């Protein structure tokens, strides 16, 4: 069985332990833990989870800010925001970050597991929260209408490649397979596959070769130099 890798980022160690305990019976979930004092983006880069459970108020940076960074740099990772006191204002801000769900920290383990599976499948459980709060839905609609009327540049939401993704793309440009790159970088082949999927999405590329051409044209990697 291929497991859904879930990274828990929360400022409270006992809450992280509680999540692990609540989800321990779910055979399809693999729980990873990290301390908010660590390099969080570095931890995400190293582990490349499928789903992140993110405290809305981690001490090293705002949970909303961290969520925006993750969505920008790792668009294939699905983010579920957690808060002890869900409210309309927070829901609106969470929607703007690109998180796929917004849950109360007291959500029962079974419901949390179901939301994780929905997120992994590409669904947006946050839509349920939005439907239940018409004032927030109206606020979101008005803002998006305003963005369209002002002709907001798409460059503002373009997702750049991370250093690791540029490195992997350089190895691809040299003709290396995912397996060979995994061996070179001493990380799992599945992690390489995850990075390649993120690269294709960010560059809007059809395949690996197309991604290399687009990256060279945009100056993201060199046509001559290795990684």
- Residue 204 Ramachandran class (φ > 0 left, ψ -120 to 50 alpha, else beta): left
Q: Could you tell me if residue 124 is left (phi over 0), alpha (psi between -120 and 50 degrees) or otherwise beta?
A: beta
What's phi and psi for 30, nearest 5 deg?
Answer: -115, 115
Supply 157's token pair: 């939401």
Average pLDDT over residues 96-105: 86
Sequence-ordered list of residues with C-beta below 8 angstroms from that of 155, at least 6 positions apart, any chain: none
Q: Detail the DSSP E strand segments found in the chain.
A: 4-9, 29-34, 51-55, 78-83, 101-104
The mean pLDDT of 114-131, rounded to a whole number, is 84
**Which range (40-44, 51-55, 129-133) has the least confidence?**
129-133
Predicted pLDDT at 141: 55
139-152 per-position pLDDT tens digit: 655 655 554 444 44
pLDDT (0 to 100) of residue 72: 83
Label residue 153 by pLDDT band (50, 70, 90).
Answer: very low
**What are 45-66's pLDDT values in tens digits?**
888 899 999 988 776 557 888 8
| Cα separations in angstroms, 57 against 60, 65, 67, 120 | 9, 10, 11, 23
Note the pTM of the prediction, 2 decimals. Answer: 0.64
3-state secondary structure at position 144: helix
The owner of tokens 């570095």 is 42
DSSP per-residue string spanning 47-82: H--SEEEEETT-SSS-HHHHHHHHHHH-TTSEEEEE
Rounded Cα gap, residues 181 and 188, in angstroms: 9
Q: Which are the contacts of 189, defined by CB distance < 8 A and separation ≥ 6?
A: 178, 179, 182
* In the predicted structure, residue 169 carries a pLDDT above the cut 50: yes
Model confidence at 138, pLDDT cuts 50, 70, 90, reads low
User: Hey, what domains does the chain have and what are their CATH numbers?
Assistant: 4-149 (3.40.50.2300), 163-217 (1.10.10.10)
């Amino acid at each position: 069985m291929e497991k859904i890798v879930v990274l828990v980022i929360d400022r409270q160690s006992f809450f992280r332990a509680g999540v692990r305990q609540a989800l321990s019976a779910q055979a399809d979930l693999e729980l990873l833990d990290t301390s908010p004092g660590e390099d969080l983006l570095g931890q995400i880069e190293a582990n490349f989870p499928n789903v992140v459970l993110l405290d809305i108020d981690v001490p090293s940076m705002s949970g909303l800010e961290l969520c925006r960074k993750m969505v920008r740099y790792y668009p294939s990772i699905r983010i579920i925001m957690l808060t002890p006191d869900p409210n309309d204002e927070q829901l609106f801000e969470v929607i703007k970050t690109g998180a796929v769900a917004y849950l109360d920290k007291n959500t029962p383990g079974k419901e949390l597991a179901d939301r994780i599976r929905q997120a992994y499948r590409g669904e947006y459980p946050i839509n349920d929260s939005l439907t239940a709060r018409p004032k927030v839905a109206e606020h979101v609609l008005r803002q998006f209408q305003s963005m369209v009327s002002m002709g907001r540049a798409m460059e503002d939401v373009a997702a750049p490649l991370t250093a690791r993704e540029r490195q992997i793309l350089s190895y691809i440009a040299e003709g290396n397979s995912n397996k060979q790159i995994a061996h070179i970088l001493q990380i799992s082949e599945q992690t390489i596959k995850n990075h390649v999927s993120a690269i294709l999405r960010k560059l809007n590329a059809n395949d690996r070769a197309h991604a290399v051409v687009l990256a060279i044209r945009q100056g993201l990697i060199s046509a001559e130099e290795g990684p």
